[in-house]
Amino acid sequence: MKAILVIGDGMGDRPIKALDCKTPLQVAEKPVLDRLASTGICGIMDPISPGIPPGSDTSHLSLFGYDPHKVYKGRGVFEALGAGLRVEKNDVSIRCNFATVDDNLIVLDRRAGRINTGGKEFETVINDYRLKSYPDVKIIFKHTTEHRGVMILRPIDPHPRFSWKVSDSDPHRTDLPIKSVEPLDNTPEALKTSKLMNELTDEFHSILDSHPHNIKRRSMNLLPANALLFRGASVLPKLESITKLYGIRALVIAAGAQYKGVGIAVGMDSIEVEGATGTTETDTILKAKAVLDNLQNYDYIFVHVKGTDNASHDGDLRKKISMIEKIDALLGHILKNAQTNKLIIAVTADHTTPVEIRDHTGDPVPLLISGPGVRVDKVERFSEIDCAQGSLGRIRGLDLTPILMNLIGKTKKFGV
């Protein structure tokens, strides 16, 4: 028996006036999702707990069975792992944005015009940069996509080490100066890390501002990527891997570095799927094919589709509905080509992102589980409203993976 978990990021929604107070899931054409709901068991789920708007990272930890209140140590590490970097236990990982600033470090564009050139050239000058005042740190930098990158501070001399308890330098809006990184506790490690990062802000600004690629961008009337903004400092959470906990082989199929990273952090393997972009342009059939190609080698496959959340943040109702229909097509392709008598399929969201709010909210998400051994209930359609009638009732995100592992016979008896 195998389990596939498909997550439509931010797929949950609220009643929308333009849809006669229906949700996008209620109006989308999704025959496969509805068939799975009618042949399965349904419910609603609080990814973290009722009313708490989850981040994607904390929510995914929870959906894999790890209590984020206990294990979460910031976001940057997931970005680093997802970008293919090796992360060591004393490393501090930090998410970075290339930005455009003026001479007074006032942020003019937080994404440097969403640069799509020069990323690798900038990476070359930042990666392995040596700070004279901090010879005990190795700086590892990797450009990921567009304006995004990730930096690791790796201590060479372990005393004092670095700390993830530091604030962001990213002011999170334009027309404000790059913020000074501040220690968030009283440890010498946090103080040292904040000072070092502030020095890097200045150093990187002067290196990038005069970089030949930025001179070229200016000459083409494009915004230069002349600063790095830091956010989400973090360290590797201490986790027992999901493969050990359940004696399984697990795989993550996701385009976004962060989701790949959470999967890797809990012990999943990760593969690249060409054509899967992590945007609303993604080809979900290629993801379905990747699932089929790997089904023989894995017990638990997690498939992440990001586009539903992107459309929600953009307030783009039509795109959200069409992304739901793309997820339906993904599932249709799997069902048509897999041996379904040995397959548990679960579909849910990591949080609700209402298109009218354009941000994550604390509403529960719909959940369906279909496959052999499942106690079929009377729900016939997959939506926030229909699933609330299902016999799974209302569960926590933390319960999802144990429920799936039980259905594929991978849980151990508690007691005798």
Residue 9 or 79 with smaller CB distance to Zn ion: 9
The interface with Zn ion within residues 336-365 (CB under 5 A) comprises 350
Least gap, CB of 295 to Zn ion (angstroms) = 25
List the helix and strand counts (H, then E) for the chain. 15, 13
Least gap, CB of 7 to Zn ion (angstroms) = 8
Least gap, CB of 9 to Zn ion (angstroms) = 4
Nearest to 207 by CA among 129, 119, 261, 290: 129
Among positions 9, 57, 168, 328, the unique one binding Zn ion when judged by CB under 5 A: 9
Integer Cα distance of 226 and 108 in angstroms? 11
Reading phi first (left if > 0) and then psi (alpha if -120 to 50, else beta), residue 95 is in beta
Map residue 376 onto helix, strand or coil.
Answer: coil
Least gap, CB of 314 to Zn ion (angstroms) = 11
Integer Cα distance of 53 and 48 in angstroms? 8
Part in contact with Zn ion (CB under 5 A); list of ranges 9-17, 27-35, 112-120, 282-290: 9-17
x/- letters, 245..264, toward Zn ion (CB under 5 A): --------------------
Residue 41 or 262 with smaller CB distance to Zn ion: 262
The interface with Zn ion within residues 34-63 (CB under 5 A) comprises 56
Q: Is residue 79 close enough to count as binding Zn ion by CB under 5 A?
A: no
Task: Provide DSSP, 31-99.
Answer: HHHHHHHHTEEEEEEESSSTTPPPPHHHHHHHHTT--HHHH---SHHHHHHHTT----TT-EEEEEEEE
Task: Return the ∠ at Cα 6 (arms to 276 and 274), rounded to 5°.
Answer: 15
Part in contact with Zn ion (CB under 5 A); list of ranges 5-13, 158-166, 297-305, 406-414: 5-13
Least gap, CB of 358 to Zn ion (angstroms) = 9
Integer Cα distance of 82 and 56 in angstroms? 14
Least gap, CB of 350 to Zn ion (angstroms) = 4
Nearest residue by C-beta to Zn ion?
56
Least gap, CB of 362 to Zn ion (angstroms) = 13
Residue 49 or 180 with smaller CB distance to Zn ion: 49
Question: Facing residues of 139 across strands?
Answer: 153
Least gap, CB of 315 to Zn ion (angstroms) = 12
Instruction: Tell me the one-letter amino acid at 302.
Output: F
The interface with Zn ion within residues 291-310 (CB under 5 A) comprises 309
- Cβ-in-10-Å burial (0-12, 13-18, 19+) of 257 comes to buried
Least gap, CB of 206 to Zn ion (angstroms) = 34
**Residue 355 in contact with residue 316, Cβ under 8 Å?**
yes
Residue 229 or 262 with smaller CB distance to Zn ion: 262
Integer Cα distance of 336 and 285 in angstroms? 12
Number of residues counted as binding Zn ion (CB under 5 A): 4
Residue 350 or 363 with smaller CB distance to Zn ion: 350
Residue 52 or 222 with smaller CB distance to Zn ion: 52
Integer Cα distance of 137 and 139 in angstroms? 6
Residue 9 or 34 with smaller CB distance to Zn ion: 9
Residue 299 or 350 with smaller CB distance to Zn ion: 350
Residue 58 or 163 with smaller CB distance to Zn ion: 58
Instruction: Say if strands 40-46 and 227-234 run parallel, antiparallel, or are unpaired.
Output: unpaired
Residues forming the site for Zn ion (CB under 5 A): 9, 56, 309, 350
